[in-house]
Amino acid sequence: MRVSDLDRDMSDVIPTGSSPDSSFLFERMAAVTLDATRPAPGARVLDSAAGLGQDSRALGARGVLAVCVEPSHRMTSLGRMLDAEQGGGATWVQAWSESLPFADDSFDAAFCKGALDHFDHPDRCIAELARVVRPGGRVVLAVANFDALGCRLQRLLDRSGRETPPGRRTWHVPSDHFTRYDPALLRAQLEAHAHLEAWTGISLLWGVRPWMRLLERLPASWGTGLLRAADALARALPGLADVIVVAGRPR
């Protein structure tokens, strides 16, 4: 990760719209990731590359003692401000996740949601998360799958010469992502440092334009039903899902 990437406007590489499929995907991604940490009251959980700390505030509402690690000074400052405004109780540490300033076995769980592919050396991040989690605890990773069914379909549509609006294609790896994750790579990197315990997919067909248009035209209840049905298929076929969540026990 380049230092210059930490504090810049990310709207050119991260979709900021509120389309039904995006809202569903990000809500499910947060819920599944946090549940995978097994957040018991009083547990100590590390939020790696925490951003603005919204996930740690959600854990705090469950009685979890969250620690946010974030390299960006701007994000850390804003996160602390939001904690003060919204009543969050997370501890904030400005640090790189490839070199965590914590002792071995310091946490009951650690997670990295949607940020692993931003690191220059994601394997070092995973190794550090496994190091600071106690034996029997959990390391949880949630990563965009660029081998997803949605990426494959939209790539075919784009290459067919059909409508090609300007901007980044959903199947393109953004410029600030340094690893193109697929299921095999994610599993191999986790299993180098943890015993795989859980593996699931979230959402199908995110960003496929005909799918997006269909969802926007349908009544909200019908669209939600379709999104839930697609998500059920993603759980059964994680290799085709838009996002993959894995959880493992440190070796």
Domains (range + CATH), the chain: 3-250 (3.40.50.150)
Q: How many residues in total does the chain contain?
A: 251
In this model, does residue 112 exceed pLDDT 60? yes
How far is 109 from 118, CA to CA, in rounded Å? 21
* Per-residue pLDDT, 165: 59
Q: What is the CA radius of gyration of the chain?
A: 18
* Per-residue pLDDT, 176: 72
Query: What is the tens place of the pLDDT at every residue in 220-249?
Result: 999 999 999 999 999 999 999 999 999 999
Alpha helix segments (H runs only) across the chain: 20-36, 54-60, 73-86, 122-132, 149-159, 183-191, 209-217, 220-236
3-class secondary-structure state, position 41? coil
3-class secondary-structure state, position 229? helix
Q: Are 112 and 125 a contacting pair, CB within 8 Å?
A: yes
Q: Are 143 and 171 a contacting pair, CB within 8 Å?
A: no
Query: What is the tens place of the pLDDT at every residue in 170-220?
Result: 766 666 777 889 999 999 999 999 999 999 999 999 989 899 999 999 999
Residue with tokens 């940490």: 37
In this model, does residue 4 exceed pLDDT 60? no
Under 8 Å CB-to-CB from 128, ≥6 apart: which residues?
Answer: 97, 98, 99, 100
How far is 50 from 115, CA to CA, in rounded Å? 9
**Full strand arrangement of the beta sheet holding 65-69:** 91-93, 65-69, 44-48, 107-113, 133-144, 243-250, 194-202
| Distance between first and last Cα of the chain | 26
More confident residue, 69 or 9: 69
Our measurement of the distance from residue 6's CA atom to the centroid of its chain's CA atoms, rounded to an integer in Å, reads 17
pTM of the model: 0.89
